[in-house]
Structure 1
Amino acid sequence: MEVNDVDDCVYHKFSESKFIFLVLYVDGILLASNEIGLLHETKKFLSKKFEMKDLGDASFVLGIQIHRYRSRGILGLSQKRYINKVLKSLEIKEMQKIPYASAVGSLMYARVCTRPDITFIVGVLGRYLSNPDMNHWKAVKRVIRYLQRTKDYMLTYWRSDKLEIIGYSDSDFDECLDTRRSTSEFIACHQATVQAIWLRNFIAGLRVVNGIKRPLKIYYDNRAVVLNSNNNKSSTKSRHIERKFLIVKERIQSGIISIEHIGTNSMIASAH
């Protein structure tokens, strides 16, 4: 098997039109193939090399439940059970007994796996791990109550014959209540391009998609960033900001990505 160029935990093997993927995490393995014979052959090979147990069709992986709706071409990833477990251990009456870092860490796992909707708030809460106050605890409780209401949400993938990567980047101007400073803008724009290119390279490395439309389209809600990224002028003064600014411009000029403006309300609607 060959390893994916951008993810050392993903392996693939191709035999004419047949293919199989192996995803490895510590001592757990997921196998996915378009041909049942190749799947059994790979299982038999692995069983000879390693002591392992075949658990059949994957239903739970690392606390993530897999839902399949094959007739509709839909795959859903849910952390409802994990969230219920977190909620039970972080009940409001018990919050004072639980370290703040532990509570935020539990939220971070949900954010990384299936709940990108709590990414921003969990990132903010993570800034105060060393010295949280009651306001930060109250914010944690609000996130927990939100997860209680939305624990049935899942990350959904739809089957498509035409794959196109479209991203959304949400900047924040003068919104920090402590300093009245912006917490992103060009930084968010640069990071969005980094993630988009990684995703494109990962998908290309799978070798089961004919191609991905170029340039990669990213919608951004800050008009000034979009305008500056699409012209040859630079008004930034901080060296690390300017470096990221120039990287974004180079990616646009080389046709790797395109950045378009989108209103905040429109982006929120699209995200839901």
Structure 2
Amino acid sequence: MSQEHYLRNVLETFGMADCKPVGTPLCTGYVDKPADKEEPLPDVPFCELLGSLLYAATMTRPDISAAVSILSRRMQHFGMDHWKAAKHLLRYIKGTLSYIIKYAATGDTSNGSTADGVLSAYSDASFASDVDTRRSRTGFVVFCSTGPVSWNSKLQATVATASADAEYMALAATAQELMFLRQLQEELTGAVLCEPTLVHTDNQPAQRVAEHAASRMRHILVKYHYIRECVDTKRIVLSYLATEHMIADLLTKILPRPKTAQFCTMLFDQRPLPGCKPRARPHSGRSPRPSTPRQDL
């Protein structure tokens, strides 16, 4: 799945077809500050641009979901700083037009996961990332047949008082999406899913609370405890994954260029996914080809 033709048209429409590419959706460390409401709105097509990018972020580009979500909060009142940030996002898209989501129909794949339609998810949260409300951002991505089928980047509805609370609420949102996808898969295939869906998280306290460990989380809204029911009924099983391998981190904040490239490779190029053991390849009996020293130009 690709929207390269659509994104090229977006670049031409907003006069950025010949722009210089950059490696991150927004500047690393970008702080979303509100515009001065006393100043008039700049005469730039900010809302039109974000509307075009929102379609791409929803359909085939999970890597720009966080940036589009951050900028979309300023559509009612924006400034030139937000317009420059939106143009920075276009420059990132210019350099990533070739990104394609691939799915494998049958058999095993080189990333160590099976291509038999089994769902797996990655859930993460950035604690108190919004400077205005101090609310945290939820990010998750769901894989099926080696490719992402659902993802989301959204500010949480309430303020979390600790990082474990934010991660716990992110797990609840991931569980709700997975229950919908499991039901949809059962309707389409006519088969009942007996095996639990694997969900990766990088916060052990949130994992322990979801698995009914003793905690002091009575201040958490009841709806967020839905994840406990899913774990109890064996529809979801949680697994700890270190932060440096958490793909959903790309949907919670603006990461440095190396991390952005690493997670985009996992999303689009189908490299080995974290949490999966790579399949052993049979030895061909040939001696390894000697490597050629790289010559920098």
Q: What TM-score, normalized by structure 1, do the two folds share?
A: 0.63
- SS, match of residue 152 in structure 1: coil
- Which runs of no fewer than 5 residues in structure 1 stay unpaired? 1-76
Per mean C-alpha deviation after superposition, the further-off stretch among 257-266 and 247-256 is 257-266
Q: Which amino acid aligns with 2:86?
A: V
Query: What is the aligned partner in structure 2 of residue 129 from structure 1?
Result: 75
> Among residues 126, 129, 135, which one is paired with 1:172 in the alignment?
126
Q: 1: distance between equivalents of 2:92 and 2:217?
A: 38
Pick from 221, 246, 263 the counterpart of residue 202 of structure 2. Answer: 221
| Structure 2 counterpart SS, 1:151 | coil
Aligned positions of 1:57-96 closer than 5 A? 77-91=1-15
Matched residues, percent identical? 28
Distance in 2, matches of 1:213 and 1:159, equals 21
- State the aligned residue count: 191
- CA RMSD in angstroms comes to 2.4
Q: Which has the higher strand share?
A: 1
2:176 corresponds in structure 1 to 194
- Uncovered stretches (5+) of structure 2, i.e. residues with no partner: 18-41, 108-115, 139-165, 248-261, 268-297
Indicate the residue corresponding to 1:107 in structure 2: 53
What does the per-residue CA deviation read over 1:139-178, in whole Å, with 9 as the maximum and x for residues that have no partner? Answer: 2112111111001111211112533101111211233345
Q: Cα–Cα, structure 1 residues 245 and 234, in superposed 2: closer, same or farther, change >3 Å?
A: farther
More helix by share: 1
Please state whether the residue corresponding to 2:231 is helix, strand or coil. Answer: helix
Deviations 1:37-69 (A, max 9, x none): xxxxxxxxxxxxxxxxxxxxxxxxxxxxxxxxx
> Do residues 231 (structure 1) and 177 (structure 2) align?
no
* Higher radius of gyration, 1 or 2: 1
- The two structures have a TM-score, normalised by structure 2, of 0.58
CA spacing shift, 1:121–1:187, aligned 2, 3 Å: farther
Q: Which residue of the partner structure matches residue 259 of structure 2? A: none
CA distances 1:209-230 after superposition (whole Å, capped 9, x unpaired): x564621111112232212111
Deviations 1:108-159 (A, max 9, x none): 1001111111111111111111111222222211211111100111121111
